[in-house]
Amino acid sequence: MGSPEEDKNYWDTFDVMTRRILSADVALFPGMRRAMETGELTEVLLGVHEQAIYWYNEEIDRQIGIERVPERFRMAQVLGISSAA
C-alpha cells in the first residue's frame, strides 16, 4: 500500500484503463453478434486484458475469502494464479 495520494492515483488510472478496455469491447459486440449469427464467426479468442480482468475478479473473491462470497456471486477460480504466490 502506498500513501493515500498514491492509492488514489492508482485507482484513478485503473478506472480510466478499465473504461477504455470495456468501451472498445462494447463497440465490437454488434458486429461480432451478427457474424456469429451468420456463422462467419465460430469462436472468439480472448486477449490478455480479458484474462487480467478475470484474474482481478478472482482475486477480489480470494481477498474477501471465497467461502464468504455467496456461491452465485463467486468467480470460478480457473486461472490458478494467487497474489500470495
In the predicted model, is pLDDT for residue 11 greater than 80? yes
Element (H, E) at 10: helix 4-38
Residues 29 and 53 grouped into a single domain: no
pLDDT at site 84? 58
d(CA 85, CA 82): 5
Residues 10 and 25 grouped into a single domain: yes
22 near 41, Cβ under 8 Å? no
Residues 49 and 22 grouped into a single domain: no
Residues 52 and 34 grouped into a single domain: no
Helices (H), 39-74: 48-64
Query: In this predicted model, which residue has the larger pLDDT, 30 or 2?
Result: 30
Q: Which domain holds residue 26?
A: 1-43
Residues 49 and 72 grouped into a single domain: yes
Q: Which of 43, 59, 75 is the last residue of a domain?
A: 43
pLDDT at site 73? 92
d(CA 73, CA 17): 24
Q: Which residue has cell 484474462?
A: 51
Residues 39 and 49 grouped into a single domain: no
- pLDDT tens for residues 14-53? 889 888 888 888 898 899 999 999 999 998 887 777 888 8
The cell numbers describing 85, all together, are: 504466490
Residues 17 and 2 grouped into a single domain: yes
pLDDT at site 62? 92
